[in-house]
Amino acid sequence: MPKKLIKRYAPDPETIRTHKYLAIFSRFFDANLFHLNRRSVSGAVASGLFWAMIPVPFQMIAAMITAILARANLPISVALVWLTNPLTIPPFFYFNYIVGIWLLGESPEIAEFEPSIEWIMNQLSSIWLPLYTGSLLVGVMLGLAGYISMRAYWRWYVVQRYKKKRRQ
């Protein structure tokens, strides 16, 4: 595993504990939330990918709370939420909307785009159910796929390292 790379860029637990905006969460911080092992990293990947697909404000806080409750790696969970950033949000959420329409058996009800707040608010009333339904399904599936993939990759990496040591 690229532990050294992750440790180099991940923040120190004490730095986070004493950060002025994160100090209110310091009583929930545990040093184990920063460990890099198969269980904590897999849980963090699942949590981060799930919350990245859910269109809610403050996704990083939701990922942080989930990581704390699941005792998953906190920095990885929060960092993976940035999979959906201002550049990637439109295609991801459009895909989630299409999945929601398919699940609900509805037809698309989006009018011609107009760059205004009024247009967005009018459309939101008609697209919220398919968007959140699709986002929930895609989030669960992506989180599950990330969890299984990370567990499998970690296991493969450990076996390869063991074989390499054994050959030497």
Is the confidence at residue 1, as pLDDT, over 60?
no
Distance CA 60, CA 106 (A): 31
- Rounded to whole angstroms, how far apart are CA atoms 44 and 75? 8
Q: How far is Cα 95 from Cα 97, in angstroms, rounded to an integer?
A: 5
Res 139: pLDDT:
96
Higher-scoring residue by pLDDT: 26, 129: 129
Residue 133 confidence (pLDDT) above 80: yes
Q: Which of 11-15, 63-67, 73-77 has the lowest mean pLDDT?
A: 11-15
Q: What pLDDT shows up at residue 145? A: 97
CA dist., res. 32 & res. 36, Å (int): 9
Tracing tokens 């247009």 back to the chain, one arrives at 119
Q: How many structural domains comprise the chain?
A: 1
First-to-last alpha carbon distance for the chain, in angstroms, is: 20
* pLDDT number for residue 32: 73
**pLDDT recorded at residue 52:** 95
- Domain of 53? 3-167
- What is the per-residue pLDDT across 27-71, written as a single tens digit (0 to 9) for each? 666 667 777 888 889 999 999 999 999 998 899 999 989 998 888
Size (the chain), residues: 168
| pLDDT score of 16 | 66
